[in-house]
A and B are shown apart, each in its own frame.
Chain A
């Protein structure tokens, strides 16, 4: 089973070392991890997608992560109504011949073209992972040069912040 965790950590040097060190030492199966600033200057928010056998194993992951001194709070967003997004940028071959096909695809996916030159274009897409996967699949035929993805971020719906949950 896949679970999505919101992890609030101190915004201090060494924090990411501590987290990644723990994940590798305990051999946790992390599918994606994305870190960035939060609404508080001294707090970093990390979204972690973890693949575990069930609730018991999830409890282990949460308890072990909670033991890290830098980890302030962990919220399991999986059972909470929440929004998931990922951002991807895809550089794809775009010649005069197929450029308009690409524009059509971009429109269908509600993606954006953020760079164009004579040979390539860069497409930006925000959405759930599956949507990004789907776009990538379609673009394969055109020739993908490179892909960069942020990893999933997640936020609950409703008025509560993770720090209050």
Chain B
């Protein structure tokens, strides 16, 4: 079949099952946009390319499908960079398609030329520059395959402008032939026998669940294991949702802002089983003092994660779809009396939970940020929660009771402010019937506030909660604790009226300052059709606690009043 490059691209997207793309047009992709127009291919026009890439990311995280975004060459493509890096750090399957200047203009500093492959090499799983039309179908096939298999990640396809206009006899390959890319699926079953042995021997075992379980959609299997054994669980930020927030075995998030019981359990356990985690420094604190009494077992699909940050005593390399069911089977075969086996340990865990539960000090006449999150958690149990980065993100992690995988979308690895709003749009596009709620700060919302217009123009009914503390809260917290209260450029003293800003873009705006009106306002916001922004006035000086000072040991927490 004779097709133009742009048509071949769209046909290939259809072959890959792509239902929608997020993008922004420009000179180098004009031919592609012409073909999108003719094919009536579903496309969400954001207001900024950063919005498009975060939306594709949110779509991918919420649905598990590959997110696709499109940008033009030069500035369009460089506007994607933060989003590509964000997706890379959190292993999100993404295909970013960028236009490049014409083949004979490459390397001449031509108008709107930027070396996108050069720029994205350290922040993408793989990238391609397509200069020949014959390569296009194969490259697209490979890009989607690489993005979604193994440890997922973003793949960039930079396509020279003339390739879109050239023609080829189109056929889409059925399979890929990549000699250097053979993602791990099954590993060594004997390694899991060893794990079962360790579990049998352990007096104080602890499961440490991470984003890998969300990514591989293995929450059900993980829960089965927890249910059978009663082994306690701590979560990384990215692992939240895998196990219900209120499950008795769940101690909560571990790490810098982890719960007291989760952090103490990590320090005291004699067996730590990390599943789909990467032992980020925000989890471990001082690596030398991390889980000092424990044998460490590491389950991961990516061999390069093993021994990268924390030395593992045992490794199980493979897809969790392979290893978790096998682990369940072998642990079941141990035939242990679990409640007797874990009795002493469980008593200790319960004591820690009771000693320092996750709470906060209320203040008279003032809405507390934790209260907002807890309220939303009550009112919207089955929502997809998206956050920006900062204090509100940590409070969401601590006080929202997550139920289910892929229900918490947050930029964990890169910590990208401005992620929340566009990612929520992507999640809503992927799951049109789900309530999608984004918590943002008065700092972060401004980073991509233009995307409120995208939500309004398309009628995406996302609910935006601006946790307005008048400060760049997380940074000001560090200044309060570690920089002698010198609040260098973190007191916003903003004059922006977020309600008016929302209304100006076509989003319903609401404001609440009085704790007595909090619930009613939230209910009203959730019940209002279409996109809504709620501006919530909060104190400026509240700290996220507990806090392990950076590089510290997990049992040395600043606890304050909590």
Contacts and interface: CB of A to CB of B under 8 A. Distances in A.
B17 interface: no
Nearest to B150: A67
The 6 closest A-B pairs by CB, nearest first: A63-B304, A21-B121, A72-B180, A25-B122, A69-B126, A72-B179
A72 B179 CA distance: 6
Contacts, number: 46
B304 A17 contact: no
Contacts of A9: 180
Contact of A21 (B122, B125, B304, B311): B122
Contacts of A66: 303-304
Interface of A: 9-10, 13-14, 17-18, 21-22, 24-25, 56, 59-60, 63-64, 66-73
B308 interface: yes
Interface residues of B, number: 21
B127 interface: yes
A54 to B, nearest CB: 11
A41 to B, nearest CB: 13
B121 A67 contact: no
B178 interface: yes
A14 to B, nearest CB: 6
Contact of B311 (A10, A56, A63, A70): A56
A122 to B, nearest CB: 33
A17 B180 contact: no
B365 interface: no
Contacts of A70: 180
Given A60-B304, A60-B307, A60-B308, A22 B178 contact: no
Contacts of A22: 121-122
B184 to A, nearest CB: 11
Interface string B103-140: 00000000000000110011001111100000000000
B192 to A, nearest CB: 21
B181 interface: yes
Nearest to B125: A69
> Among the interface residues A14, A69, A73, which one has the most CB atoms of the partner chain B within 10 A?
A69
Contacts of B180: 9-10, 68-73
Contacts of B117: 14, 17
Contacts of A13: 129
Given A14-B127, A21-B121, A69 B302 contact: no
A52 to B, nearest CB: 13
9 contacts: A9-B180, A14-B129, A17-B121, A63-B303, A64-B304, A66-B303, A68-B126, A71-B180, A72-B179
A63 B180 CA distance: 12
B327 interface: no
Contacts of A67: 302, 304
A18 B128 CA distance: 11
B176 to A, nearest CB: 10
A73 B182 CA distance: 11
A69 B178 CA distance: 8
Contacts of B181: 69
Nearest to B122: A25
Interface in B208-247: none
B146 interface: yes
B523 to A, nearest CB: 48
Nearest to A20: B121
Interface in B274-303: 302-303
Nearest to A9: B180
B272 to A, nearest CB: 19
Contacts of B146: 69
Given A17-B121, A56-B311, A60-B308, A10 B303 contact: no
A146 B128 CA distance: 38
Contacts of A14: 117, 127-129
A18 B303 contact: no
A66 B303 CA distance: 9
Given A56-B311, A64-B304, 15 more contacts: A10-B179, A10-B180, A14-B128, A14-B129, A17-B118, A18-B126, A21-B122, A63-B303, A66-B303, A66-B304, A67-B304, A68-B180, A69-B180, A69-B181, A73-B180
Contacts of A25: 122
B512 to A, nearest CB: 45
Contacts of A64: 304
B344 to A, nearest CB: 35
Interface string B175-191: 00011110000000000
> Among the interface residues B118, B121, B308, which one has the most CB atoms of the partner chain A within 10 A?
B121
B122 to A, nearest CB: 4
Interface in B162-215: 178-181
